Amino acid sequence: HSYFLHLFLIVALGSVVTTHVSNPVVPSPLRPLLHLQGNLSFDDAPLAAKDFGNIYQLLPAAVLYPASVSDVVSTVQHVFQLGPRSKLTVAARGHGHSLQGQAQTDGGIVVRMEALGGGTRVVHQQHGGQPYADASGGELWINVLVECLKHGLAPKSWTDYLHLTVGGTLSNAGISGQAFRHGPQISNVYQLEIVTGKGEVMNCSEEENSELFHAARGGLGQFGIITRAQIALEPAPEMVRWIRVLYSDFTSFTEDQEMLISAKETFDYIEGFVITNRTGLINNWRSSFNPRDPVRASQFDSDGKILFCLEMTKNFNQHEAESMDQQVEQHLSKLRYLPSTLFQSEVSYLEFLDRVHASEVKLRSKGLWDVPHPWLNLFIPRARIKDFAREVFGKILRDSSSRGPILLYPLNRSKWDNRTSAVIPDEEIFYLVALLSSAPSHGSLEEALKQNRKILDFCNKEGIKMKQYLPYYTTQEEWRGHYGDRWEMFAHRKGIYDPLSILAPGQRIFHKAV
């Protein structure tokens, strides 16, 4: 076993193995890391080469399970001190739910952030300040939520799925149906503790080291490893009314979405999705269909037509049920959905926020979770969303057999802090269009990738100024295009906080000079 490991390490580390190796297993550049409090594993390298996307696999040299922030510091400092001639890089890995190897490193060190510990501490600010959760960067959002609920509190802004880490989503943006109101998760943090690419620990916020604070939010892990975050909280409701309604007309659907996100009195969560199933009959659904279960709206058989599902929630506490009911009635009365396609139920706040986990359990039981996921997430400016829908839903998707949910909901630029590294279209309202394809076979992967390419080509050809969310590019030229006139600032910040390009190499933006 150790022979193969040795061989593998020599191959993986290539030119970095320069000194005499007296211990045959661990190459010299990694040996100082054996003295850390945490554990350096060589056996887990294949696991760290996988992610949710299940398309790319880069084998690291070793996997660090840090026992403390100082382990992370020592590791990055060590790699920094090896200088530009060493090929070693460091990839923080949250829950590994990246799609194209963003949390991987070819022959470097993967840091398993979940091992960091430190949990979540709820801080009730005295003197009229706001409460916040002080959470480890490797903490899963579900754990943050469960801890906060013990105090009757909850974070304000979410992702649809909670088995993602705090550091992982803050490195992107973190969006869901609450973002129209509170902004993305990166607009809802007060302070971060970060280990930079030089191995320094820095606290940063609006007031302190603000350049790093702005850089790291939505920074794709390029400026430092987030080891702690102070997350904005609000009182948690006990329950939510969860509602779905259907539209056959795209214009009414998006106009209603836009009206709702702009209204003063509105829902607490607003999303939407596209239903594109092509077979079967509608079967008198108008007269016989009036279920209470909102999930059933997504299983609606649209008989070849494309339908659009608007999804909303209203938060409430038990004693406010009656007034909530009236408010919901009032908001719904302004909408133009298909009559008798109102699906609704009441669930606990926890059950609602953790809803995607229930789908995960189902998909896992059918062996359909660990398949390739050629996802494509785009921010489309409002001015072009109809052109986009006409071509993509009306033509490209019709000609393709690729399958998976398609989310479509509006966001508002004014809720985003334009000093962060996140990139969004240059228009007040823009749409997230998330094509969440699953590809259980080689053929279906090819098909989905082809579909994605067609969509991107269409946007380019038609001059739709979209931005990729969870961006995937492979050349610096493409990254420059993505950042546009913000590229210089992005690269400048990189030079300050990670001058040797050690961190998050799986994003393929900067390459360590060797």
Q: What positions carry a catalytic annotation?
A: 97, 160, 271
Residue 135 beta carbon to ligand FAD: minimum distance, rounded to whole angstroms:
11
Closer by beta carbon to ligand FAD, 271 or else 391: 271
Residue whose C-alpha is closest to residue 117's, from 137, 96, 91, 90: 137
238 contacts 349 by C-beta, under 8 angstroms: yes
In the complex with ligand FAD, the residue whose CB is nearer, 113 or 246, is: 113
The torsion defined by the Cα of 6, 8, 13 and 17, in degrees rounded to 10, comes to: 30
Q: What is the CA radius of gyration of the chain?
A: 24
- CA pair distance 47, 53, nearest whole angstrom: 13
Encoded amino acid at 408, one letter: L
Measured CA to CA, the distance from residue 345 to residue 269 in angstroms comes to 15
Q: Which tokens is 42 given?
A: 């060589």
- Nearest approach in angstroms of CB 283 to ligand FAD is 31
Q: Which two tokens stand for residue 131?
A: 């409460």
Report the SS3 class of residue 51.
Answer: coil
User: Residue with the closest Cβ to ligand FAD?
Assistant: 167
Q: Please, what's the b/e burial string for 54-63 (b: 16 or more CB within 10 A of its CB; e: otherwise)? A: bbbebbbbbb
| C-beta closer to ligand FAD: residue 165 or 341 | 165
Q: What minimum distance in Å lies between the beta carbon of 173 and ligand FAD?
A: 6
What token pair was written down for 122? 């709820």
Distance from the Cα of residue 204 to its chain's centroid = 22
Cβ 378 to ligand FAD, closest distance in Å? Answer: 13
Q: Which is nearer to ligand FAD, 52 or 300 (CB)?
A: 52
Q: How far apart are CA 289 and CA 416, in angstroms?
A: 40
List beta partners, residue 232.
Answer: 132
Helix (H) or strand (E) holding 194: strand 189-196
Q: What is the largest CA-CA distance in the chain?
A: 80
Pairing of strands 189-196, 201-205: antiparallel
CA gap 201, 472 in Å, rounded: 29
Residue 409's SS3 state is strand
In terms of DSSP bridges, do strands 62-65 and 109-112 run parallel, antiparallel, or are they unpaired? parallel
Whichever of 63 and 504 has its CB closer to ligand FAD, that residue is: 504
C-beta of 212 vs 470, nearer to ligand FAD: 470
Contact 149, 236 (CB under 8 A): yes
CB of 170 to ligand FAD, least distance (A): 7
Cβ closer to ligand FAD: 174 or 341?
Answer: 174
**Beta strand 239-247 pairing with 307-316:** antiparallel
- Do 36 and 64 form a contact (C-beta atoms < 8 A)? yes
Based on CB atoms, which residue is closest to ligand FAD, 55 or 282? 55
- We find the least distance from the C-beta atom of residue 291 to ligand FAD, in angstroms, to be 25
In the complex, the smallest distance separating the C-beta of residue 499 from ligand FAD, rounded to whole angstroms, is: 17
Q: Which helix or strand (DSSP H or E) is residue 468 part of?
A: strand 467-468
Query: Closest separation between CB of residue 275 and ligand FAD, Å?
Result: 19
The 90-93 sheet, strands edge to edge: 39-41, 62-65, 109-112, 90-93
Both tokens assigned to 240: 């939510």
Distance of closest approach, residue 47 Cβ to ligand FAD, in angstroms: 12
- Residues of this chain that interact with ligand FAD (CB under 6 A) are 51-52, 91-98, 102-103, 113, 137, 159-161, 164-165, 167-169, 171-176, 220-221, 225-226, 470, 504, 506-507
Q: What value, to the nearest 5°, has the Cα angle with vertex 283 and ends 277 and 284?
A: 125
- Looking at the Cβ atoms of 205 and 248, the one nearer to ligand FAD is 205
